[in-house]
Structure 1
């Protein structure tokens, strides 16, 4: 009986929030992540959760069958795994592509053999479009990523299309903007809202690359999870959707907003701008809203308040 949902990268920021939401829906879940991954207590104690551990980059089709003996019971897969982040992915272009694109190819082969019905892939609205777009980024526009992180995401999107054509493996692609919220690590590698909120709350300095004019599209994690599930479960006209707020906020504006919400004066360290940072990236969400209805996202100020409350309680 195919009644299980498999989440790759389940212990990460998005994976944790997705898992908690699906636990609340009484879904039967198989969670897959690295052996060193740590899950929050609410996930560890859930009865309908099975936790599996292993690699992703070194797995062949036969390896997946060994790690997931009940693969044939999986109806839907959420593919959230990536081996790097945008800021450091260009250090090893060949390795990044091999780990993620070839790794996903082997995994999709295993999905086909197991009879999985649908793969939901978390792409990157922040990196696949590149710097050629000065306005809102639309799904139908050509993508020109400037990091291998964005390139591998785009390549996996094309892989999913290929496997759909060859094997009728259904799929959905979510080009997500910049999510923030509970369970995101405030380490500065990814997640400006989370990192800045955490450090300003503790009177610690924050680092800004460039002059603070870089513009991004931020979405609270609860809204992101709701959108991901809607794209995965509802019958839209497309297999690819942007998911964000549709509104741009500069780094300067973000810091000012956090400071106002927290009633703090931030200590800012400015460093040289980075080549991996696209000047402006804001997603057009018209396609999503036409198919699924208007998005009533949590405003940035309210999201920062919720995040600060989470930090103070944990």
Structure 2
């Protein structure tokens, strides 16, 4: 297996599980502070380096594509960069695959951005895709190009649409991931911006549950698109209260006006993956927050020692 982007938050957790029963290679740009895992081959380079990518694919039967150079905010700020670095580079990969022994491509898309404004309380995989930002538009385009190349019988594909993963290994940089941002604010006495008063509802999944879901999908040889989430929605105010209880400390907040394009409520349906694999999330939000808090405190202690 070749994992593109295998040193990131999701990728590192996935590689840790996959390497137990598979020969795993990672294609990744060098990350400051990233650690290599024992028994895994690491190939360092940029996604746009076609020759290096082609060499990395020699002898590989499955590719897992996690590379993304943007988050929703940065994608909207520079759609040209989003298009070139994500869509165009993925198309180059798809053009190479027929020359290789790759028989399956697993792509991590986005459960939270490809569908757009939800028309149902729980969003299923056959919901219309009407993204409202560059990030989701590019994710949809990548999905469509994967289907296009797969239709020529070059390979099978599996598209994973995760909700909002969180857990150990996730660091806040102020751009994405409300849970680490809340923890960072309360630990460092920062003011947390409460967009729209904190009423926005989202679906949060603990990282170990997400990785187990991916493993189940691989083991069951599933193809097509699958949502992976908790199946439950929580608003930001609930997150703040839960983190405050974990920390035993109040969070400083400032209510700011929300973006007029912001979606108020979005929760994924996980019926399809449950039916096809028997998977269901095992970690309640409170338990996941506790585990993440413990990891953060351990990391803080190690950095101070």
Pair 33,211 (structure 1): closer, same or farther in 2 beyond 3 Å: same
Pair 271,126 (structure 1): closer, same or farther in 2 beyond 3 Å: same
Conservation of the 8 A alpha-carbon contact between 1:147 and 1:276: no
Match of 2:214 in 1: 228
Conservation of the 8 A alpha-carbon contact between 2:16 and 2:37: no
Q: CA deviation at 1:173?
A: 0.5
Match of 1:252 in 2: 237
**1:112-123 correspondence runs (5 A):** 112-123=98-109
Cα deviation per residue 1:126-155 (whole Å; 9 max; x = unaligned)?
111111435211101111101111111111
Q: Which runs of 5+ in 2 are unaligned?
A: 300-305
> What CA distance in whole angstroms lies between the structure 1 residues aligned with 2:88 and 2:103?
21
Q: CA deviation at 1:262?
A: 2.1
- Secondary structure of the corresponding residue to residue 167 of structure 1: coil
Pair 26,286 (structure 1): closer, same or farther in 2 beyond 3 Å: closer
Query: TM-score, normalization: structure 2?
Result: 0.92
State the aligned residue count.
Answer: 299
Cα deviation per residue 1:64-114 (whole Å; 9 max; x = unaligned)?
224x2xx22111111001110012211222331222111101112222211
- Secondary structure of the corresponding residue to residue 174 of structure 1: strand
Counterpart pick for 1:285 among 270, 274, 280: 270
Question: Quick check: 300-309 or 223-232, which moved more?
Answer: 223-232
Q: Which runs of 5+ in 1 are unaligned?
A: none
> What CA distance in whole angstroms lies between the structure 1 residues aligned with 2:221 and 2:17?
20
Cα deviation per residue 1:138-177 (whole Å; 9 max; x = unaligned)?
1011111011111111111111111111133111011100
Query: TM-score, normalization: structure 1?
Result: 0.90
Match of 1:141 in 2: 127
Does residue 299 (structure 1) correspond to residue 284 (structure 2)? The answer is yes
Q: CA deviation at 1:204?
A: 3.1
Cα deviation per residue 1:253-303 (whole Å; 9 max; x = unaligned)?
111111122221111122221255322110011111111115142000000
Pair 119,275 (structure 1): closer, same or farther in 2 beyond 3 Å: farther
Counterpart pick for 2:198 among 212, 236, 241: 212
Counterpart pick for 1:10 among 6, 11, 31: 6
Does residue 22 (structure 1) correspond to residue 18 (structure 2)? The answer is yes
Runs of 4+ with >6 A deviation: none
Task: Compute the RMSD of aligned alpha carbons.
Answer: 1.7
Counterpart pick for 1:55 among 42, 46, 50: 46
